[in-house]
Chain A
Amino acid sequence: METLQHFALLLVGGALVNNILLTRFIGLCPFFGVSGAMETSVGMAGAVVFVMTLATTATWVFWNVLLEPLGVGEFLYIPAFILVIAALVQFVEMYLRKSSPALYRSLGIFLPLITTNCAVLATATESVRPGFFMMGIDYGFGFGEALVYTIGVAIGFGIALISFAALRERLEVAPVPEAMKGIPMAFITAGLLSFGYVGLGGLFGL
């Protein structure tokens, strides 16, 4: 029971309380870049859930099997993680193109974008590096914890992206002052959306 509660907290904490986009500002580029259309946002959200889970799995194993036992994690984790993630995304792209063209068509164009998305690297780093994580846990995650936390974060990313895309569709027809049109207004809207997440702070003592 204890562990179940712990995992549930990790999931909710990652998805809502510490929402990666709106409360921690990680991965904002796609947040403003692809949220113009609902369809691409849904595709992007799906691709992020997929890649983030795979990336954390790979980097967690890489860290715990190779970097940490050899004692080089401290110096090498940045280049090592980014290369593992970049290589992984390349392989996933090649594999999807051959094996599942339908899935490739819906996720494929987002995959190269995700390599340089800080959300993936941030989540991978937080899962293994104690002290970078915000919820009062100061040890590196076990494998199960890392996986659950990552899925939570990715779901939170999807929720925020899709709800923001819905807001921006309405914004297209709203009367906005000339100087504020487009991106500036999108920022103000995102600010108002993130007010909602202030209210979630402190939920379950997270």
Chain B
Amino acid sequence: MKPEAPILQTHKLSIGYAGNTLFEDLNLELSSGTITCLLGLNGSGKSTLLRTLCGLQPAISGQIKLFDKPLRQYSPQALARTVGVVLTQKRYAADLRAYDLVALGRHPHTGFFGALKQADKDVIEQSLEAVGMTSSAARRLAEMSDGERQKIMIAKAIAQQCPIILLDEPTAFLDVISRIETMMLLRKLSREHRKTILLSTHDLEQAIRTVDSFWMLRRGSQAVCGTPEDLILGGAMASLFEKNGQTFDPLSEHRVIEEDARPVGVEGDPSIVIWVNNALIRSGRKPFPMAAAYPCINCISPSKFIITHPNGICRNVASVSELLTALQEAESQPMPQIQIQSQYA
């Protein structure tokens, strides 16, 4: 992608509420046609930043520029044609049909009584098509799944024809499939429709796979921006989580590993190893290459695992559940732990 002038830019931006500044001196940029993800701990002010950037909440100080023009100089109508939002909040009027809801996106473009011209109708059709919901146009919100409703809300933002779309937790409350679909849709919008997208999410794994860059926000320190890979390799991602006694392990499928995790050796069929690793991390252990100093697991088949303990005893188990029980039993017995610690201190 060619580097372009930033579409959205903040300069020394401070946000928050009267008497409660959440972030100070934010200097952030969004470039055209990219997806950016806001990363921060819960309650850190991600929603506040999104609200401030689309003019729903005044900034405490500093400047926001959209297309090189200060946000303050936009009329409500012009702003509504520049930035579209999709929120987590529930919508009322569940009897609205998908088409009518997407039609509301035409608001900033229609006249006094909001009559839809043919051009507006075309845009609505195209928006529904872009999110793959054309066949659902006549359905009511109440009849849809959370994932479908979210697509309709995104279609509304498309119908608004804004170059910038801000989404606050677009995948919250969605099932796994809808989460992936929503993120794929956003990626499609940025690639094919050249939309500039900024979203917040808790779905770190999906975000790492989808977005072009991260804005990492931490109270009391500067925002860190960059591609997911650079932030992981440079250790910034790990630092976001270090406070909670956890380390972020970039090598193990973007998972957060507890600091005092116990090493367990794993080898065997790669498709099984992935899930054994998952179970180990989840239960406070850390997958390692095979070694004699700690328990090791050979994954033969989904119903056959061989555990080799440091004392040389081998044991066969038939499921991951039995595997975890066996490991727990072995750990609760006195073991030559000193050796392990000296090796991995």
Do A and B share a complex? no
